[in-house]
Amino acid sequence: MAIKVGDTLPADLKLKEMGESGPKDVTLGEITRGKKVVLFAVPGAFTPTCSMKHLPGFVEHAAAIRAKGVDEIVCVAVNDAFVMDAWGKASGAAGKVRMLADGNGEFTRAMGLELDASGFGMGKRSQRYAMIVKDGKVEHLLVEPGPGLNVSSAESVLAKL
């Protein structure tokens, strides 16, 4: 069952983030506790729409999003921490968007937002979406109804803040 507005994210669920000495675990509780967070998910790092529009929109509008009271902007993909780190560096995300890896898809499955991209040779991935989370609770959930970037863009998120 997919997560919905009003649900609380599982605080103990772990994602990976590149640290100074390699990948490290971070929990959803650490990320969201006492904070307002914009979390968006993409089907894959370095893929066309994700790299040309979705992530760049959040990088470009990071200051405007933070000006609306957001403490953290987080990008999640079913990729490993090394790929997410490289993608963040290549996209200029440092200091603007926190790049977190859901390498095994555990977070994505827990959200109920898994996408079967096997037909494209990509296996199980995440649907494209964005959510606004306040103190661990989902306030807005913007799931793309199909291919493309329409409802989960940085501009759409800004309109909900």
* Closest among 95, 107, 117 to 44, alpha carbons compared: 117
Element (H, E) at 98: strand 98-101
Type of residue numbered 1: M
Backbone angles phi, psi at 143, to 5 degrees: -100, 130
The residue whose two tokens read 């605080």 is 11
* Closest among 134, 137, 140 to 158, alpha carbons compared: 140
Residues marked as catalytic? 50
CA 26 to each of CA 12, 83, 114: distance values in angstroms, whole numbers, following the listed order: 9, 17, 21
